[in-house]
Amino acid sequence: MALDDISDRAFSRSAMQAELLDAETELRLAYAWRDERDEQALHRLITAYMRLAISMASKFRRYGAPMNDLIQEASLGLMKAAEKFDPDRGVRFSTYAVWWIKASIQDYVMRNWSMVRTGSTSSQKSLFFNLRRVQARMEREAAARGEAIDRQEMREAIAKEVGVPLHDVEMMEGRLSGSDFSLNATQSSDDEGREWIETLEDDGDIQSDKVEQTKDIETLRTWLLEAMSNLNERERYIVRERKLRDDPRTLESLGNELSLSKERVRQLEAAAFTKMRKMLANQSSEVFEFLG
């Protein structure tokens, strides 16, 4: 049901003027849609209860979402209810639809509350929509007793009442207490104020470390080339193919190429590494990691 070109007030007025269905008519329309896929019956059923969807959407305006979007989500919930409604269960459609409408609106609010995912489990939803209400009630009860309630005690009481871990209460409390800010916003109102993004630590490589690493790699390369110079041509070829390629060759593929058994190639590789270890006995341990 497209709402893009209809203002909130005009749509609400139209919904409030829709027919009121008695139980018998509602049941007949539900059967017509379920059994015959009668779209006119579906349209009458949804139109008649759009006032219910709008009424429920209005209760979520305090979360800052545009009313038009809330009505859109409520409409989707109403349609899902009509699709899944079973008239044989003896329940009024309005009673059944309330759950689907509320679930659709709540999902939308939680998806759009923050860039940080707030949570989607039933317990997290309950916490999101009830945290402030439970807090206010506990504060009123404590004030009536003339007591001051400790914040940690309140969190523990909320966790117990809602049925969630204490950690979830602490996390949700933090997310509900603030909103998202742009990293490009300035830290002060001055024109010269730094942007928040400038305060983030650069997790990239430090230039001095990169220079030192490049030097170490070059030194290691020199040592390896010197050690390989003492190998014969076949041994050097095996070491290059087994250790210096981006995609190392297998013993079997080298054996097929050199007309040797896989075991013989392994022996030649081991012998080459032994020679290189003797040449590099006094060098860095990183060389021996390379040699395996």
Res 228: pLDDT: 79
Kindly report the number of other CB atoms within 10 A of residue 2's CB atom.
Answer: 7
What is the rounded distance in angstroms from the CA atom of residue 57 to the CA atom of residue 74? Answer: 6
The pLDDT tens digits for 73-96 are 999 999 999 999 999 988 999 999
What's the pTM value of the predicted model, to 2 decimals?
0.46
CA torsion, ordered 177, 179, 184, 190, to nearest 10 deg: -60
The pLDDT tens digits for 32-79 are 999 999 999 999 999 999 999 998 998 888 777 888 888 989 999 999
Sign of CA dihedral 36, 39, 44, 47: positive
Q: List the chain domain ranges.
A: 8-113, 122-176, 208-291
Burial of 237 (0-12, 13-18, 19+ CB in 10 A): middle
Cα angle 51, 54, 59; round to 5: 130
CATH code of 208-291, in short, is 1.10.10.10
**Amino acid symbol at 278:** K
Q: 58-67, 165-174, 240-249, 275-284 — which is least confidently predicted? A: 275-284
The pLDDT tens digits for 146-205 are 887 777 888 888 888 877 788 777 777 766 655 544 445 555 555 555 664 555 555 555
CATH code of 8-113, in short, is 1.20.120.1810
The pLDDT tens digits for 98-122 are 999 988 888 888 777 654 444 556 6
Per-residue pLDDT at 127 exceeds 80: no
Burial of 30 (0-12, 13-18, 19+ CB in 10 A): buried
